[in-house]
Structure 1
Amino acid sequence: MVRDAGAAPTVEEVRLPEVGPGQVRVRIRAAGVCHSDLSMINGTLSPPHPLILGHEAAGEVVEAGAGVTRVTAGAHVALNWSPPCRECWFCTHGEPWLCSVANIAALENGSTLDGAPVYVTLGLGAFAEQVVVPERAVIPVPAELPWESAALLGCAVLTGTGAVRNTAGVRAGDAVLVIGLGGVGLSVVAAARAAGAGPVIAVDVSTAKKALAEAAGATDFLVSGDTLSKEVRRLTGGRGADHAFECVGRAATIRAAWRATRRGGQVTVVGMGPADDMVQLSALDIFSSARTLRASVYGSSDPDNEVPQLARDVLAGALRLDHLVTDRIGLAEIPAAFDRMSRGEGARSVVTF
């Protein structure tokens, strides 16, 4: 939990609300440390406090409230931090990832600390032993799916895979560039290779990410720098990438992705950046390059449909996730995981219980 803006996360005893109608209590078994959690405390976002962090998680249903039909006690579930309402304009027009009701950065759910209300990140607050969430925020997964895999499916893997499959529509033979090799970026690399893309060029500021990129399926690894676009063109017949995925959330890396993409190519922004980091592009360049710049929110996915399919892919061996987990930690080690993330070290740290 983070008690105040700028404070370090600490482990606290929190009282959960009783399970009401349409709600479920979940015992968390694994929770990934995502960059969006870091954004809650590094100034990228300005959530209310005190705040329970965590949103990429999986666990076992302990109790189901009145009227719940999706799960029963004992069910294994992945948590959905952006559950669609199925009733707003976006949901009824095939874009549930843009649901008007979902995507709330932090809200109160009845949890208390010393008798006072606390907020939970993205409606979940999953860096906890247990959570109470709405029924629509849980997605049943097979009991044989490892807890770590189930947790990662709910954010990093769904976001990265969806960006490739749904948002960009990468095809076999496309040249793909991926900038930023955290859990999401590595998932983009893996999904691009699975789609038959080639070359798949992975880029990061740290040479330590080379082995992780190759394990995910990258054909080439480059260190980010001023000559990036020239190096990408060298690897793509002089044209540039057909698809560039920006997985950092910075204006500088969005511009770098834009410059390294061929005329008529697509740039997909997956990383979430601060509101005051402005992207500047030449009006003439936008016209003459004919490139497309768009964002991918939660992989342009419907998690209720796609998480179960990803789970089946993992169990069938068609989707490998072992390279994504580089550190297994306890709750008290989350601040150290954030430090590693800030330094660009490793892929995913996963809290296990």
Structure 2
Amino acid sequence: MQKIRAAVCHAFGAPLEVEEVALAAPGPGEVEVTLEAVAICHSDISYAEGAWGGTLPAVYGHEAAGRITALGAGVERLFAGDRVVVTLIRPCGHCPACASNRPTVCENPPDGRHGPLRTLEGGPLFHAMACGAFAEKVVVNASQVVPIPEAMPAESACLLSCGVITGVGAAVYAAGLRPGQDAVVIGAGGVGLNAIQGARLAGARRIVAVDMTEEKLADARAFGATDGVLAGEARPWKAAKAALGRGADAVIVTVGAIPAYETAPRYLAPGGRVVMVGMPHSGATADYEPVLFAATGQGMVGSKMGDVVIARDIPWMIDLYDQGRLKLDELVSRRWRLEEINEAIADTRAGGARRNVIVF
């Protein structure tokens, strides 16, 4: 095992500690990636806060890009020196979900307690989200990486690993938006801006962004929203419907706030659906009247990682980026060093950042 630096969570809610840890060599079907950049996702923050439980100590981080520096036995179509993005999507390939081309909801998730990370003393170190990317290097299954162009900036490319595919996929796949339909996107953070981009790419007629500040609504318009509504208004759904001239065909909730979930159906047109992307803390609940959904043919659907297939969708999005049709560079708010990760997390938690990125 080799020594690398990583930001380790030893206690929920406590600052991460940058320290040396041990990383195993890649085994069969695995690759080692020396990272160039890893973004701070709100899911990493929620895990580190203990929002969904978990095993400690742990290394979080799952939105990364770098270069392959070692290959395990049996790896095909990847080579040392390839630049890649690293995702948390690790399909087993044989469960019903994988067999149905839904790898984001694979029924056989890996056990992070038996991953490639250890403390320097040989103790357990949880390999969170099958990535552990708040570190200089990662060892992951080859199915989790997708090659990227040599010249693509790492801090932009890493966003394809989660925030971009989650938002774009929520609009294109989970919502199934078609040309001429209307969308409301609640939350104009990193995922929300990409849901707006996805709705634009799908041909939405109007896209209404809902957020708490005018600054966020200005961001939303820059990424393709046609209208903006302040969530703090007495009845923001009325303003959204006035902008649309009707209810929305899809309401994409990209924040984990219960009030956002409870009000989301109010924006819908008959036959519309709420797409649930943002993840509240475990135990949080929302109230609905089922009769209203039944009477109007409306629905709710969860969307994990945009329901994407990374080998298909990440190359598609890279091509859109190359054409200037998908904004990635503009999503990066600020670049930080690994030693500054707690400051980067605090800045992300404050809500103003699109995406903060650790660069190596």
Q: Same fold (TM over 0.5)?
A: yes
CA distance in 2 between counterparts of 1:95 and 1:19 reads 26
CA distance in 2 between counterparts of 1:105 and 1:217 reads 39
CA distance in 1 between counterparts of 2:332 and 2:338 reads 16
CA-to-partner distance for each residue in 1:17-75, whole Å, 9 max, x for gaps?
Answer: 12222221111011111011011022321111111110000100011122111311100
The answer to whether the 8 Å contact 1:19/1:64 transfers is yes
Check 1:89–1:113 CA distance in 2 against 1; reply closer, same or farther (3 A cut): same
Deviation at 1:82, TM superposition (A): 1.4
Partner of 2:163: 156
Deviation at 1:284, TM superposition (A): 2.2
Matches within 5 A, 1:145-224: 145-224=152-231
1:18 matches 2:25: yes
**Which shifted more, 271-280 or 179-188?**
271-280
| Matched length | 351
For 2:129, which of 122, 131, 135 is the aligned residue? Answer: 122
The answer to whether the 8 Å contact 1:156/1:183 transfers is yes
Letter paired with 2:253: E
Partner of 2:117: 111
Runs of 4 or more consecutive aligned structure 1 residues displaced over 4 Å after TM superposition: none
Partner of 2:5: none
The answer to whether the 8 Å contact 1:107/1:122 transfers is no
Partner of 2:92: 85
Partner of 2:56: 49
CA distance in 2 between counterparts of 1:121 and 1:110 reads 11
Letter paired with 2:259: A
CA-to-partner distance for each residue in 1:61-94, whole Å, 9 max, x for gaps?
Answer: 0111221113111001111201211111111123
Deviation at 1:105, TM superposition (A): 8.1
Matches within 5 A, 1:25-36: 25-36=32-43
Q: Give the gaps of 5 or more residues in structure 2.
A: 1-7
Letter paired with 1:229: W
In angstroms, what is the RMSD of aligned CA positions?
1.6
Letter paired with 2:195: V
CA distance in 1 between counterparts of 2:148 and 2:329 reads 18
Check 1:200–1:81 CA distance in 2 against 1; reply closer, same or farther (3 A cut): same
The answer to whether the 8 Å contact 1:157/1:184 transfers is yes
Residue identity over aligned pairs, in percent, reads: 36
The answer to whether the 8 Å contact 1:267/1:292 transfers is yes
Check 1:187–1:105 CA distance in 2 against 1; reply closer, same or farther (3 A cut): farther
CA distance in 2 between counterparts of 1:303 and 1:297 reads 13
The answer to whether the 8 Å contact 1:328/1:352 transfers is yes
Partner of 1:236: 244
**Which shifted more, 135-144 or 76-85?**
135-144
1:141 matches 2:148: yes
Deviation at 1:123, TM superposition (A): 1.0
Check 1:44–1:289 CA distance in 2 against 1; reply closer, same or farther (3 A cut): farther
Q: Give the gaps of 5 or more residues in structure 1.
A: none
Deviation at 1:162, TM superposition (A): 0.8
The answer to whether the 8 Å contact 2:90/2:130 transfers is no
SS in 1 for 2:191: helix
Partner of 1:329: 336
CA distance in 1 between counterparts of 2:290 and 2:94 reads 38
CA-to-partner distance for each residue in 1:87-138, whole Å, 9 max, x for gaps?
Answer: 1111112322211123x58443132223112012201111111111122222
CA distance in 1 between counterparts of 2:161 and 2:113 reads 19
Output the TM-score relative to the length of structure 2.
Answer: 0.93
Matches within 5 A, 1:288-307: 288-307=295-314
Partner of 1:264: 271
The answer to whether the 8 Å contact 2:253/2:275 transfers is yes
CA distance in 1 between counterparts of 2:340 and 2:290 reads 47
CA distance in 1 between counterparts of 2:32 and 2:354 reads 29
CA-to-partner distance for each residue in 1:280-308, whole Å, 9 max, x for gaps?
Answer: 11132222232111111111111121112
Deviation at 1:322, TM superposition (A): 2.2
The answer to whether the 8 Å contact 2:156/2:332 transfers is no
Check 1:223–1:88 CA distance in 2 against 1; reply closer, same or farther (3 A cut): same
1:8 matches 2:15: yes
Letter paired with 2:235: T
CA-to-partner distance for each residue in 1:170-201, whole Å, 9 max, x for gaps?
Answer: 12222211111221110001111222213211
CA distance in 1 between counterparts of 2:215 and 2:347 reads 12
Letter paired with 1:230: K
Check 1:106–1:344 CA distance in 2 against 1; reply closer, same or farther (3 A cut): farther
